[in-house]
Structure 1
Amino acid sequence: MVVVPFWHLSWHCWKKIQGAERAAALDMAATKRACALQLEDLHVEQSRKVADLEQTMASQVDALATELTKLKEQEEYDATMLARYMERD
């Protein structure tokens, strides 16, 4: 039977605990980095979606403004033509 000194067991256990703590700290750091990257990806994606939506809305506003201008011009033309028609009678 081999007898191992108590101090050797304590040192061995301490090294195992230290190794486990180091591994846990590395795992935690890796998890935090992965979460930060995912959060950044979500932020970038959300920002892109907002920018796309703003661009779409701006295009729609421009299209509506153009349509409104055309309708106003048509209204003015119709009013002019009606006035001319009424003058003839």
Structure 2
Amino acid sequence: MGLIIVSFTIKDVRDKNGYLESLGMPRITQVKRDADIATAEAEKETRIKVAILIRAWLLLLADTIERNILEPEGIPAGIMIALIGAPYFMYLLMKK
């Protein structure tokens, strides 16, 4: 008597009704959803970091302008930020 070894790969298994294919479908959609959530969280964290850097740069720019250009009188940095940010805010309003 001989011993017969039978091995199949995934591509060799045939399923007329699609049962094997449907087994993996819920997991595939769950993995795609989790990947989309992770991508959105990474983008959110990146945008927060960029916003922090832009805010620091804007404050530094406003303080530099205030100290160098308007040295004798001096105005608060918040007013200078408003003068710099208002045109950009108006641009955003008009763009939409």
Aligned pairs, how many? 60
Q: Which residue identity lines up with residue 14 of structure 1 in the other structure?
A: P
Q: Does 1:21 align with 2:33?
A: yes
- Selected match of 1:49 from 61, 73, 95: 61
Q: Relative contact order, CA 8 A, sep 6+: which one is greater?
A: 2
Structure 1 counterpart of 2:13: 2
Percent identity (aligned):
12
Q: Which residue identity lines up with residue 39 of structure 2 in the other structure?
A: D
TM-score computed with the length of structure 2 as normaliser: 0.52
Structure 2 counterpart of 1:31: 43
Q: Which of the pair is proportionally richer in helix?
A: 1
TM-score computed with the length of structure 1 as normaliser: 0.56
Task: Decide which structure has the larger Cα Rg and report it.
Answer: 1
Q: Which segments of 5 or more consecutive residues in structure 2 lack a partner in the other structure?
A: 1-11, 74-96
Whole-angstrom distance in 1 between the partners of 2:13 and 2:55: 61
